[in-house]
C-alpha cells in the first residue's frame, strides 16, 4: 500500500482562458536527477497531502527552481505565490533543473499552476491523472491513456520505469511516425524507446494502453540516454481542446486488437491508443483523459443483480487519481467535453430499472459540480431499452436545469469482433469518427 500520497498537477501546458473562463494546468517533469534541483523558493509553504512545500532554505542545490516536492517563487499547491495570493500550483516558472523560479517544483521537475503562464526549460509533459511516486521526482499512474510527451535533442531515448506486473502495454510514437506497441516487463527497468535516429530534435509520445483493473500501476522516473550531446528540450505545446472520457471496457479499448479466440487473455489485446475516445481526440487535436474500468457500471457492476455497499461503481471510483487510493484534484484539469459511456454492465443481467436512471442523473450532476462549463455527451451503444433509459435520463437532467447535454448513438458504428465481444480496431475507429464528427458540430471544433 502506498502512503503519503500527494496530488500532482496534470501535465497540460496552460492555455488562454476560454470565454467561459476555463483554464488548464500543466505538469512538467525534468528528466535530470532529483539532486540537481534547487532549493525550495521563498514562496514555498507547507501543504501536507498536496505536495508539502519546502520553506526558505532547504537542501543544497543549484538554482532557485524548487526542491523535490518544494516550491519556487511561483507558489506551491495550496500555498501562496510571491505576490501573496493563493495559487493552485504556482504561476509560471521553469523546471527546477533549468534554474528558474519554479512554480511548485515536484521532485525532478517544475509545474505551472492552473491559469499561470507556461514554464520553459527541459521537461516532459504528462497528460492524465497521476500521483506522486515513492521515489523523489517519480510519478505513478494507473488509468488507461495516461501519456508522456517530450521533445529531445539526440539520436536515441530511453525511459526509467517500474511496472507492477508484465501486463502493461504501451504505444510509442517518434516524430509522428508509425505507432509501435510493446509489452513492458515487471519491476524496475530502463526501456529503450528509440535508437539510430538522425542527429537533431525529435518528439516522443509514450501512451499507456493498459487499464487499472489488473492492478498494473506504473511508476515513471524520467527519460534518459539521448546519445552524445543529446538533451531534453522544452515540452510540446498543449492543445486548446480538452476531452474527458468516462466509461467501461469499451472506453478502455479492451480487446481491440484481438478477435473471438482471444488467445492469451484480453489484456494482451487491450490498447487505449486505439480506443474511440483516443481516436476522436487525435482527429480533433485535443487532449483526452480517460477514466474507464472494465466491468464497471453507474448503478451496478457486471455480474451484480443488486449493488452492495462494497460495489465499486464508477461514481465511487471516479474521484481517484489512482483507483482506489489517491484522490484527484479536479481543478487541475477542466475539460470542455465529458463523454460518458456507462450502462453496458448495468444491463448485463437485465434491465436495471429506475435505480439506474437515478444513479446516472446523480453522477452527471456530481461531475457538473466539478466542471462548470463542460458539455456532456451520453453514449448509447446498443439501442432498445438501454436507449429508452438514456433518453429518460436526458429528460430528467434537462428538467433539473441541465442544458449542455445530449445523447449520441454509436450503435451503428460499433462492432463486436474483438476479444470477448468488444469492438475491434475498425469498430473503435468508426466510433471515434462518429464522436469526432459530432463534436465538430456541437463544439465548433
Which three cell numbers, joined as nine digits, stand for 353? Answer: 430499472
Tens of pLDDT, residue by residue over 261-281, are 999 899 899 999 999 999 999
Class of domain 26-232: mainly beta
What is the tens place of the pLDDT at every residue in 158-169? 999 999 888 889
Instruction: Give the Cα-Cα-Cα angle 229, 230, 236 (nearest 5 degrees).
Output: 150
Nearest CA to 441 out of 399, 408, 393, 417 is that of 408
Among 29-38, 71-80, 120-129, 291-300, name the most confident range.
291-300
Closest of 158, 148, 206, 205 to residue 11, by C-alpha: 148
Q: What is the DSSP string of 135-196?
A: STT-EEE-STT-EEEEEEEES-EEEEEEESSTT-EEEEEETT---EEEEPPSEEEEEEEE-S
Percent of the residues in the chain that have a pLDDT greater than 70, as a whole number: 72
- Which class would CATH give 241-443? alpha beta
For residue 50, give the nearest of 29, 24, 26, 79 by alpha carbon. Answer: 79
pLDDT at 178 over 70: yes
The pLDDT of residue 54 is: 30
Please state, in angstroms and rounded to a whole number, the distance separating the CA atoms of residues 257 and 425.
6
Yes or no: say if 312 and 3 are a contact pair by the CB < 8 Å rule.
Answer: no
Residue 281 has a pLDDT of 98
CA distances from 75 to 42, 293, 407 (A): 9, 35, 42
Q: Stretch 334-345: mean pLDDT, rounded?
A: 98
Kindly indicate the confidence band of residue 2, based on its pLDDT and cuts at 50, 70 and 90.
very low
Mean pLDDT calculated for residue range 304-330: 95
On average, the pLDDT of the chain sits at 78
Across the range 288-306, mean pLDDT stands at 96
Q: What is the C-alpha end-to-end distance of the chain, expressed in Å?
A: 43
Mean pLDDT of 371-379: 98
Cα separation, 97 vs 191, in Å, equals: 23
pLDDT at 148 over 60: yes
Residue 383's pLDDT is 94
pLDDT of residue 165: 85
Whole-angstrom distance, CA of residue 290 vs CA of residue 340: 10
For 146, counting Cβ atoms within 10 Å of its Cβ (0-12 exposed, 13-18 middle, 19+ buried), the class is buried
Give the range among 19-28, 254-263, 423-432 with minimum mean pLDDT: 19-28
Supply the pLDDT for residue 43.
34
Digit-coded pLDDT (tens) for 421-445 = 999 999 999 999 999 999 999 999 9
Q: What is the pLDDT of residue 289?
A: 98
Alpha-carbon distance of 353 to 4, in angstroms, equals 41
Q: Which residues of 187-207 are buried (b: 16+ CB within 10 A; e: fewer)?
A: eeeebebbeebeeeebbbbbb
pLDDT band at 215 (very low <50, low <70, confident <90, very high): low
Q: Is the pLDDT of residue 27 over 60?
A: no
Position 29 scores a pLDDT of 52
Shortest CA distance to 113 belongs to which of 333, 322, 369, 373? 333
- The CATH 3.40.50.1110 domain(s) of the chain lie at 241-443
* Residue 315 Cα distances to 89, 323, 360, angstroms: 27, 12, 9
Amino acid at each position: 500500500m502506498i502512503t503519503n500520497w500527494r496530488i500532482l498537477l496534470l501535465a497540460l501546458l496552460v492555455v488562454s482562458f476560454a470565454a467561459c473562463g476555463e483554464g488548464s494546468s500543466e505538469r512538467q517533469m525534468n528528466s535530470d536527477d532529483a539532486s540537481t534541483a534547487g532549493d525550495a523558493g521563498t514562496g514555498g509553504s507547507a501543504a501536507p497531502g498536496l505536495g508539502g512545500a519546502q520553506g526558505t532554505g532547504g537542501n543544497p542545490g543549484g538554482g532557485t527552481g524548487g526542491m523535490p516536492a518544494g516550491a519556487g517563487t511561483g507558489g506551491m499547491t495550496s500555498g501562496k505565490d510571491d505576490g501573496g495570493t493563493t495559487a493552485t500550483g504556482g504561476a509560471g516558472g521553469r523546471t527546477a533543473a533549468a534554474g528558474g523560479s519554479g512554480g511548485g517544483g515536484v521532485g525532478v521537475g517544475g509545474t505551472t499552476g492552473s491559469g499561470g503562464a507556461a514554464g520553459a526549460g527541459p521537461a516532459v509533459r504528462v497528460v492524465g491523472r497521476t500521483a506522486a511516486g515513492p521515489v523523489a521526482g517519480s510519478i505513478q499512474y494507473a488509468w488507461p491513456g495516461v501519456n508522456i510527451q517530450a521533445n529531445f535533442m539526440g539520436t536515441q531515448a530511453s525511459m526509467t520505469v517500474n511496472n507492477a506486473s508484465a501486463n502493461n502495454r504501451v504505444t510509442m510514437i517518434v516524430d509522428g511516425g508509425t505507432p509501435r506497441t510493446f509489452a513492458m516487463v515487471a519491476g524496475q527497468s530502463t526501456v529503450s524507446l528509440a535508437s539510430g535516429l538522425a542527429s537533431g530534435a525529435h518528439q516522443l509520445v509514450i501512451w499507456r494502453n493498459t487499464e487499472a483493473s489488473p492492478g498494473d500501476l506504473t511508476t515513471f522516473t524520467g527519460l534518459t540516454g539521448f546519445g552524445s550531446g543529446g538533451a531534453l528540450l522544452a515540452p510540446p505545446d498543449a492543445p486548446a481542446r480538452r476531452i474527458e472520457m468516462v466509461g467501461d471496457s469499451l472506453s478502455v479499448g479492451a480487446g481491440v486488437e484481438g478477435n473471438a479466440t482471444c488467445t492469451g487473455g484480453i489484456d494482451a489485446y487491450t490498447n487505449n491508443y486505439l480506443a474511440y475516445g483516443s481516436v476522436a481526440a487525435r482527429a480533433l487535436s485535443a487532449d483526452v483523459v480517460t477514466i474507464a474500468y472494465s466491468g464497471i457500471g453507474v448503478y451496478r457492476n457486471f455480474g451484480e443483480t443488486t449493488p452492495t455497499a462494497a460495489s465499486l461503481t464508477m461514481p465511487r471510483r471516479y474521484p481517484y487519481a489512482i483507483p482506489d487510493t489517491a484522490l484527484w484534484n479536479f481543478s487541475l484539469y477542466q475539460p470542455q467535453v465529458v463523454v460518458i459511456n456507462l450502462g453496458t454492465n448495468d444491463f448485463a443481467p437485465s434491465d436495471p430499472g429506475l435505480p439506474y436512471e437515478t444513479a446516472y442523473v446523480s453522477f452527471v450532476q456530481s461531475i457538473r459540480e466539478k466542471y462548470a462549463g463542460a458539455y456532456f455527451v451520453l453514449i448509447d451503444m446498443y439501442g432498445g431499452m438501454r436507449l429508452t433509459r438514456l433518453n429518460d435520463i436526458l429528460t430528467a437532467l434537462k428538467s433539473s436545469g441541465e442544458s449542455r447535454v445530449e445523447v449520441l448513438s454509436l450503435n451503428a458504428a460499433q462492432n463486436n469482433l474483438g476479444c470477448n465481444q468488444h469492438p475491434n480496431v475498425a469498430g473503435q475507429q468508426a466510433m471515434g469518427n462518429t464522436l469526432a464528427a459530432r463534436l465538430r458540430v456541437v463544439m465548433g471544433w
